[in-house]
Amino acid sequence: MDTYVDDIGSFPLPMGLKRDDYVRAYEAAREALLKGDDPYADDFIAKTFCSTVVDSFRRKLSSGLDVINFPQHFSGLRQVGDVIHQAMANGSFVVDEKTAVLPEIYVLNKEAKLLSEEFGKKILLRICLFGPIEQYLNEIGTTAYPDVLEGFAETINRFAKNSILNSKYIETRVISIDEPSLGHSPFTGSPELIRETLEKAYDFQGPIRQIHLHFASGIHDLLTVKGLDVLSFEYAASPKNIDAVSKNVLKDANKQIRVGIARTDVDAIWAELYERGITQPTAEQIIESIDVIKKRYRFAKEKYGEQMTFTGPDCGLGSWPSQDAAVSLLKRVVEVVKTQ
């Protein structure tokens, strides 16, 4: 079975665009959609948000990725959290279905024909959402209240369902629920409660359902989660993660795996270069070599074989110094996988 190359999501803003301006445009675009208006009708939104999303996605497409996450320039926690706050103000932890929307998906659906024809292929889209447990930790805390968790899970499920596209030009191939704190926080929820919460979030059909983790310590508690297809963890920056789960364990649980094969922890990379006397590194210096990435990929592929259905960078690239650097990394990962 082929191993598809995807990415985790966050991406640098284009040079010259202020983050505050993008945030204002994002919020305005979301408000327009919730009112039933077309965000393209407003010049500021159209230029600062819509065009930025399309141009950034185009750059990611140019890297050769098989499955491309929408360019997550806005806070992943706030994408859902802002809407949860509105629901909580009205006494609920479940958002209305009509408000569970990602403005980026509207834009990419609108521009899908243009992008598909430009690149000569159907676009396979990846959606990432911070999951119910991560949102809960951010909004409520570490003490688990099952009824509140259930509400958060239903909210994530509604965002996921509203992000499923399937047309001649674009298809939502993957929906990833990201739980970066799972297995590394004092969250009091039992494995059974975590399983029930995630199963409710994953209660949709069509796209491949991933979970993205930073730590593999709790991965065995996820093997029984119904509806979860692919477990994903960082390997490049956290090599010991790969020791946490075997191929046979995955096969017995009918799960697949995504392994990150290129480091994206750019602050740590910069610190290491600084210690070597490189105080102003170039993009080429912060990106790992083809040989290093290839060695990781081969090791992971030999270990997991057909169970390894996805690979790519460890995590998002939002903190990288430029889109040029981020795209160069994506291209390098694609080159490694496609030439094996």
**Helix axes of 191-201 and 132-139: crossing angle, nearest 10 degrees:** 110
The answer to whether residue 301 is domain-embedded is no
CB 314 within 8 A of CB 234: yes
Work out whether strand 68-69 and strand 4-5 pair parallel, antiparallel, or are unpaired: unpaired
H runs (alpha helix) in the chain: 19-34, 43-45, 51-62, 76-89, 103-110, 112-119, 132-139, 146-161, 191-201, 247-253, 266-275, 283-286, 290-304, 323-338
Domain of 206: which CATH number? 3.20.20
Instruction: Report the range of poorest mean pLDDT among 53-57, 180-184, 273-277.
Output: 180-184
Confidence (pLDDT) at 128:
97
User: How many of the other CB atoms lie within 10 Å of CB of 301?
Assistant: 18
pLDDT at 2 over 90: no
The answer to whether residue 265 is domain-embedded is no
Confidence (pLDDT) at 150:
97
Mean pLDDT across the chain, nearest whole number?
96
- pLDDT tens digit string along 206-241? 999 999 998 888 788 899 999 999 999 999 999 999
The answer to whether residue 298 is domain-embedded is no
DSSP readout, 233-271? Answer: EE-SS-GGGGGG--HHHHHHHT-EEEEEEE---HHHHHH
The answer to whether residue 197 is domain-embedded is yes
Q: What mean pLDDT do residues 38-49 have?
A: 98
The answer to whether residue 101 is domain-embedded is yes
pLDDT at 304 over 80: yes
The answer to whether residue 156 is domain-embedded is yes
What percentage of residues in the chain have a pLDDT greater than 70?
100
**Residue 130 pairs with which residues in a beta bridge?**
178
pLDDT band with cut points at 50, 70 and 90 for residue 1: low
Phi/psi of residue 176, nearest 5 degrees: -110, 125
User: How many of the other CB atoms lie within 10 Å of CB of 205?
Assistant: 8
pLDDT band with cut points at 50, 70 and 90 for residue 109: very high
Decide: residue 303, CB within 10 A, 0-12 exposed, 13-18 middle, 19+ buried: middle
Q: What mean pLDDT do residues 64-92 have?
A: 95
The answer to whether residue 126 is domain-embedded is yes
- What domain range is 179 assigned to? 14-260
Work out whether strand 208-213 and strand 170-178 pair parallel, antiparallel, or are unpaired: parallel
Q: CA-to-CA distance for 247 and 232, rounded, in angstroms? A: 14
pLDDT at 183 over 90: no
The answer to whether residue 281 is domain-embedded is no
Q: What mean pLDDT do residues 263-289 have?
A: 94
Tokens of 23: 């945030």
Q: What mean pLDDT do residues 308-331 have?
A: 96
Q: What mean pLDDT do residues 175-195 have?
A: 93
Q: What mean pLDDT do residues 246-269 have?
A: 96
Q: Please give the single-letter amino acid code of residue 297.
A: Y
Domain count of the chain? 1
